[in-house]
Chains A and B, each alone.
Chain A
């Protein structure tokens, strides 16, 4: 048996998913789509049940990728029941999607989640009446307190075994007449959803549905456009707006029947919002929160990371004694070292990073950040939501690239990911601090950051100008502040850490091996000589820089580590001029993100776009490095 969880964003779908599946979850990846969503299994009432957590959506138009994905999932995977999770405190808005889900014709139950919160806000919801109005079972739940979950699952199994299809909601006469007329014309066609749904979507002008029908029976489209025009004439609005408007008025009518409201009391969330969205205090709080987070991750991370590397390196000696052959040993060791590197990144940086992120995310604060930074992000053709992955980029580019999924459309997603790879992550910060701040002074490190931000701004503007399509504006729901649950936060962090390991580890380990192999057989040295016109001639660096930059692809801080081992000292001033240090740090900061980030980009956009970004950034870094080296030469001579 197969269940799908569907609902708006921030309604507690994931919490319900976790309650159902416990730890028996895995990240699923269904055919044709690269986007992943959690999939899991549970055993209940003698049945093995698969459950999928669909992305949070507000409608079934095809505006966003999430909506399209959800639709494709439902049409291809055909779950036995849909569990529609709704936020009781904003039932009216949530019902808009519920009404559309009902039209899809799957057996369905509603989880009236956050029922306790609605009560606290003085709302009395008559869920039995709601169930009657909608024609589906309605179960009040409080997911994070495990209340109502087994009742909900029982109800879902019941509707699934009975194949109980809900009765669709009736619209006004003008719409109904036209819908049923189109529906008749569609009868006998092989369609993934009920003909009535197709008829409504055709009237709404849904491009995907029009394409499907065009292939099968194009003659219908003429009738559809006639009807759409008629509706537009009657109401003075396009047919899709007319239908949405009807859905919202049905939602309002139902809500007014089932909810009794006592006087609204100002909640703690409202009070917090007055400060955190304030024109001055809001920004101060945001910068403090960001600074504190990055500072914690960076200091805690580098301390733990050093400690772990030292701890794990003790196996080097025994390994050396076991494998006598130096060539073989260096190959084996580089592979082990790759693994150690992975562990030393994941445990100290990624895990704390994800835990903090999950807390901030669950609290609802990220939506405030998007609100505060929207006008800034518009300067680079994006909107406020893009600020979030950009900030994540300071920790590590890999989760930041995966975080670009919050952007609604492919265009915005790609631009955001491109810019994210230019954000100096913790590893690049190590280089900037260890090389530039330590030997040239703090102001030069700040200068590097400023250069980087200017570059991000310019590239953002250029991408926005030359990529096809229009930028889209911000519209989002602002969820109330909620106290995050530790359990939920830990669980979602764990799922993300697993995902990171899956993406990054194989590549870090494999490429450590390959690069060491190339070095051993002397190819790397030759390569450094071959590219010396670039490294030495154009960038003014020593020839050995070629090797450093290649190792930096594994993880950026290796540039610094390798530099120390090439020079045999950590006092870099003995071998490099200040200008060379600055150039090396600048190029390291800009050229391709590390291999793990390329893997993350590939996962999100495919090889072609991932390599496009990588190649662009290598060329760009060299170009900018050489130019700035010449500009700054008089200052740093």
Chain B
């Protein structure tokens, strides 16, 4: 089942779809957030703050707005 990254319950997931405009897609893919990429949630800031992710052995911070455009499949 696909959920937006902001609604992911577990820690590990695979990016399946990226919604949003051309610019958002370009930025996310430049930073390595592409369909098929495995991610691990490391934490998040309160009040709809950004999410810390482990992607490709490095850490990325993605704001809530962008994160809600990333649809992921949880790895159980």
Q: Which residues of A contact B (CB under 8 A)?
A: 58-59, 61, 63, 89-90, 92-93, 96, 205, 237-238, 240-241, 244-245, 248, 252, 277, 279, 282, 367, 370-372, 374-376, 378, 383-384, 472-478, 480
**Chain B, 9-58, CB within 8 A of any chain A CB:** 18, 22-37, 43, 45-50, 52, 55-58
Residues on the A chain within 8 Å of B18, using CB: 241
Q: Give every chain B residue within 8 A of A383 (Cβ-Cβ).
A: 63
For residue B62, CB closer than 8 A to chain A, the reply is yes
**Shortest Cβ distance from A278 into B: residue:** B43
- CB pair B34–A248 under 8 Å, yes or no, is yes
* Interfacial chain A residues near B56, Cβ < 8 Å: 90, 92-93, 248, 252
Tell me the count of chain B residues lying within 8 A, CB to CB, of chain A.
37
Do B50 and A384 touch (CB < 8 A)? yes
One of A252, A376, A476 near B61 (C-beta < 8 A) = A476
Q: Who on chain B is nearest to A384 by CB?
A: B50
Distance of A238 Cα from B59 Cα, bound (Å):
26
Contact across chains for A472 and B22 when beta carbons are under 8 A apart? no
Q: Let me know if B60 is at the binding interface, CB within 8 A.
A: yes
- Min CB distance B16 to A, Å, is 11
Contact B63 A384 (CB under 8 A): yes
Q: Is the CB of A244 within 8 A of B36?
A: no
A86 to B4, CA, bound (A): 32
Cα distance, A61 to B50, chains bound together (Å) = 24
Q: List 5 A-B contacts (CB under 8 A).
A: A92-B56, A92-B58, A238-B25, A240-B29, A248-B37
Q: Which residues of B contact A205 (CB under 8 A)?
A: 22
> A368 → chain B, closest Cβ, in Å?
9
Taken together as a complex, chains A and B put the C-alpha atoms of A478 and B62 apart, in Å, by 10
B47 contacts A475, C-beta separation under 8 Å: no
A-contacting residues of B (Cβ < 8 Å)?
18, 22-37, 43, 45-50, 52, 55-66
Judge whether B30 and A59 touch: CB under 8 Å.
yes
Min CB distance, A384 to chain B, in Å? Answer: 7
**Does B57 lie within 8 Å of A92, measured CB to CB?**
yes
| Chain B residues closer than 8 Å to A241, beta-carbon distance | 18, 25-26, 29, 34-35
Decide yes or no: A277 and B62 within 8 Å by CB, A244-B29, A475-B28 being known contacts: no
Tell whether, in the assembled complex, residue B45 and residue A372 are in contact, meaning their CB atoms are under 8 Å apart.
yes
Would you call A374 and B30 a contact (CB within 8 A)?
no
**Contact assessment for B22 and A374 in the assembled complex, using a CB-CB cutoff below 8 Å:** no
Q: Are A477 and B26 in contact (CB under 8 A)?
A: no
B35 and A245 contacting across the interface, CB-CB below 8 Å: yes
B25–A90 touching, CB < 8 Å:
no
Q: Which residues of B contact A244 (CB under 8 A)?
A: 26, 29-30, 34
Would you call B26 and A240 a contact (CB within 8 A)?
Answer: yes
Smallest CB separation, B26 vs chain A (Å):
5
Alpha-carbon distance A241/B45, docked complex (angstroms) = 28
CA distance A228 to B47 in the complex (A): 40
